[in-house]
Structure 1
Amino acid sequence: MSAPVIGITCYVEPASFTVWNTTAALLPHAYVEHVARTGAQPVLLPPIADPAAVLPRLDALIVAGGGDIDPARYGAPRHPAASHIHGFRDEAELSLVRAALDAGLPFLGVCRGLQILNVALGGTLHQHLPDVVGHTGHSPAPGAYGRLPVQVTPGTLLAKALGTTELTPHHYHHQAIDRPGPGLTLTAHAEDGTVEAAELDSHPFALAVQWHPEMTEDTSLFQALTDATHPRRP
């Protein structure tokens, strides 16, 4: 059997490499490494991907981290702390996720990917967590990950994938789910009540986490995604 193909959404940002300074479609290599370690073939999806052209060629989809979603997408005015908003990426990823869910494609969201999933389903976001929880522990400083304990609901898809209900992962987010979209079950929380994971009840494998699983050696979430492709493949 050939390796499953897993699409990973990527950034479009100013970048510097060798002698060039230019706009680039890019992604932290840790995502690629983790997918490859599960035996799958990673493919990067820039935010111009046409769902109708791309999804039939994929066995699973990962929506990676990134900047904030335009709050107009969920009917809210923009908070002063909202940043790195790219409307073209919002549009591409929301379309891709909705089509992937409709097709029953195995799905994993990471950080922004959880927020995209929620907004795609009609949910809303807290735009600046310090206003809600009173601290900056989820994103303590630019380029610095927070480490906060997370409790996972026993018996959930997430708990089975992780093999545990307690962990202290890498956090780097100042936004989080406020009102969950219809059909979305909240499956993990930080001690301050922040939603840290969710999964879609009606889907065979659609889950997303607010933390960054690619920042550890543990590939359990990525392995669970790859394993979820097997029943779909000949």
Structure 2
Amino acid sequence: MSSSDLAVILPRVIIVSRRSLRKNKFVDFVGEYHLDLIVGYGAVPVIVPRVAGVHTLLQSFEPIHGVLLCEGEDIDPSLYEVEETSLSNEELEEIRRLHVSDTAIDKEKDTIELSLARICLERNIPYLGICRGSQVLNVACGGTLYQDIGKELARCCPDEKKVVHMDYENYDGHRHTVKIVEETPLHQWFKESLKDDMEIQVNSYHHQGVKRLAQRFTPMAFSSDGLIEGFYDPDAYCPEEGKFIMGLQFHPERMRKANSDEFDYPGCTAAYKEFVKGVIAYQKKLNCATKVPKSLKLDKELEQKRNVIVRSFSLAKTLYAGGHNIRHLRESDLKPGAEFLESNIALSLQQENRLMQMGATVRNASSYMERLKLNAKREKLARVVMGKMTIEQLSELNMFYNMMGQICSDMLEMKQLQNVSVDLL
């Protein structure tokens, strides 16, 4: 099997590239750990470049089987803060100085990622948000964020419960405690590593976080200062069925022992493993929904029935084009078509249009045949009556109908001219 065949078969996970400021220098970056895990579990990463206008071209990246959004700069506060911020101008300026690499708002990235998140929510496409990606998910669903944890959350938190959520000098080595909520996916993934306190040490790298969690989500983990460190949609979580909507504020993919690829806990890779499982299941479900069924091979009896129905529609079409010219047409000839339509009430629009072209109005065939029979009786009766009339009476009757015909023609012509005049005004 060629590499091009694999690209078609394997499910596609959309990942947005990031541009981050580190040491006063812009560097294009996508975490290789994310890519390694996605590929390792059987999906293909498709990178969406963070360039102007790409949010209008997201349909070009179809089919989308999953979306993974990772770290990045702060989300524009105007996208989630409906009320005035409690932070003063001096505090906002201090935040910008302390977190210069994160407070450089990237509106194009915001637009791209929020668009992808909403596509996932509308179509139930698997979504995994890590760090900023979890914040994007919450904002997309109407939730809000702390613009700065240190200024907003820590000010009302006792000293013993305060948490350092980021360390610029020790990115991968920094850890802090989170408490896992029971009966959640995180509980299931880290179960063998949890003690009675239900706590693990996680790697995080953020100065913002979830303030008000969107209503559809359920928390999975909290830090000691009360910050939500993980959440999911319980109604959209079943990887085996292609359902996976989740946000994690910490970085399980980077929780590795110093100078080693060994993970801190066996459950660190579970989020990616289950996410890709959901992506694969979603791809299969999508393929089944769009797959065109092969033509059925009919046995002789079914083929004969089909021909009878097709003939019925064909006769109906000819009948309504000029029914009185069909000789020896019986009502039983139209009955198969009428019965077929009566028994098949769930037809697609394409099928209905096709049946109309074939004379699908056979639903009314019986009444039409009755009218033809009635007209024939009337014609026979008229011939009997007129046969008893004199030549003078027949001549006067003929002149009367000729005169009425001429009047009708004149009135029709007049009305048509009037309609044309109205159209021209």
Q: If the length of structure 2 is used for normalisation, what is the TM-score?
A: 0.49
Q: Offset at 1:14?
A: 6.7
Secondary structure of residue in 2 paired with 1:62: strand
Within 2, Cα distance between the matches of 1:14 and 1:183? 34
1:1-234 equivalence runs, <5 A: 2-13=9-20, 25-47=28-50, 48-49=54-55, 50-54=57-61, 56-75=62-81, 77=85, 79-80=92-93, 81=95, 83-131=103-151, 132-133=153-154, 135=162, 137-142=164-169, 144-145=171-172, 146-163=174-191, 166-203=199-236, 204-216=243-255, 217=263, 218-234=268-284
Shift of 1:163: 4.3
What amino acid does structure 2 have at the position aligned with 1:4?
A: P
Instruction: Give CA deviations for 1:91-123 in whole Å, capped at 9, x if unaligned.
Output: 111111011111111110000011101111111
Tell me, in whole angstroms, the C-alpha distance in 2 between the residues paired with 1:144 and 1:232: 34
Unaligned regions of 5+ residues in structure 1, if any? 16-21
Instruction: Show structure 2 runs of 5+ residues with no match.
Output: 1-5, 97-102, 156-161, 193-197, 237-242, 256-262, 285-425
CA distance in 1, matches of 2:146, 2:26: 30
Across the aligned residues of Structure 1 and Structure 2, the Cα RMSD in angstroms comes to 2.5
What is the alpha-carbon distance in structure 2 between the residues aligned to residue 101 and residue 159 of structure 1? Answer: 24
Alpha carbons of 1:144 and 1:25: their partners in 2 closer, same or farther (altered >3 Å)? closer
**Number of equivalent positions:** 228
Shift of residue 24, structure 1, vs aligned partner: 6.2
Q: Deviations over 1:148-185 (max 9, x none)?
A: 11112121133334446532111111111011122121
Summarize deviations over 1:64-114 as a string: whole Å, max 9, x none. 111101111112558332512111111111111011111111110000011
Whole-angstrom distance in 2 between the partners of 1:140 and 1:12: 20
8 Å contact 1:161–1:224 — kept in the other structure? no
Aligned-pair CA distance for 1:205: 1.0
Tell me how far apart the structure 2 counterparts of residues 163 and 226 of structure 1 sit (CA, whole Å). Answer: 21
**Structure 1 residue identity aligned to 2:70:** A
Higher RCO by CA contacts (8 Å cutoff, separation 6 or greater): 1
Identity of aligned residues (%): 26
1:223 Cα deviation (Å)?
0.4
Contact kept? 1:162, 1:221, Cα under 8 Å = no
Higher strand proportion: 1
8 Å CA contact 2:19, 2:26 repeated in 1: yes
Tell me if the contact between 2:144 and 2:211 (Cα under 8 Å) persists in the aligned partners. yes
Q: Is the 8 A contact 1:60 1:229 kept in 2?
A: yes
Bigger drift between 137-146 and 67-76 goes to: 137-146
Q: C-alpha distance in 2, partners of 1:101/1:142?
A: 36
The letter for the 2-side match of 1:139 is: M
* Secondary structure at 1:219 match in 2: helix
What letter is aligned with 2:16? Answer: T
Q: 2:163–2:176: 8 Å Cα contact kept in structure 1?
A: no
Q: Distance in 2 between matches of 1:142 and 1:66?
A: 17
Letter in 1 for 2:45: P
CA distance in 2, matches of 1:163, 1:207: 18
Q: TM-score w.r.t. structure 1 length?
A: 0.86
Cα shift at 1:125: 0.6
Higher helix share: 2
